[in-house]
Amino acid sequence: MRGSPFWQAAFVFVGVVFLVWQTWRGWRAGLFRGGVNFAAILVSTVLGCLAAELTAAPFGGLHSLSGLLAGAVVGGGLGIFLFVAIWFVGAVTLKRTGHHAFGPLRFLWGAGGALFGFLIGLAVLLGSISVVRGLGALAESRIEATQRDAREPLPTRVAGGLVMLRESLELGSTGRFLESVDVLPVGFYEIVLQVGKLTSDQEKMARFLEYPGIWETLQNPRVVAALCDPGVVRAWQDRNVLRIINSKAVAAAVKDPALAEQLKNVDVRAALKFALESPPPSQSPSSSLPPKKRK
């Protein structure tokens, strides 16, 4: 599947229109409201990233898969909460540009808000590039799985569209520029693609669980207790991720320093590589026998 220059141009056009619209909204919001909204993004991002790093530290940091997942859940949740809280306070207490009389003060008030609106729109646009590329990597892994296994359902148009849009964004010099301004590192999308391939193939998932570090972690008493907990089992059957995260068994496992140290020492990248590589061909019994001596 190849990208399309048309969709790349359409994405850029929509992005420019969004920036203009967001700048106009900033003008109407005014200097203080626009500043508070921009501060909400900065504060929620900085504190969310800090919380993500602190949460991921016991699991090997954000460079490990387990640390990345834990940091994303805690840091993302905190960041969203802080943004909504700060934005709500600014929306309730501060004046808009239209509340001021015509004159230099109103112009400066609106121009300051327009600047903050432009910066907010730019941040959202950069984030959308990361989201599209990340979802496209997941969709690509799903499509590859359906092509390998005829029993799998055919990929949906949404998955195909996400892959096409991702590849469209990466075309030519414009694609290289969009990749250069992406806030996420290139290795992140590689991990997303590998995890997508892993979760869509039972044989590869079995090989991942057989990796020495992963297998030893699964034998940890805390992990065994969490996997055998009736509440976790029911939540897994219902596909309720929030109930799994909030369960007492999972909370006890996360707080266990011994398990955290064990997870920190697991090389998840090596485990993914081991799982995704084709296993060596099994040796036939006859070939393993020693050669017969000549008389």
pLDDT tens-place string over residues 106-156: 788 788 888 988 988 888 888 888 888 888 877 777 776 666 554 445 456
pLDDT tens-place string over residues 270-290: 887 887 776 655 544 444 444
Of the two residues 36 and 57, the one the predictor is more confident about is 36
Residue 40 to residue 32: CA distance in whole angstroms: 12
pLDDT tens-place string over residues 222-269: 888 888 888 877 877 776 666 776 777 777 777 778 877 777 777 777
Average pLDDT over residues 41-57: 81
Average pLDDT over residues 67-95: 77
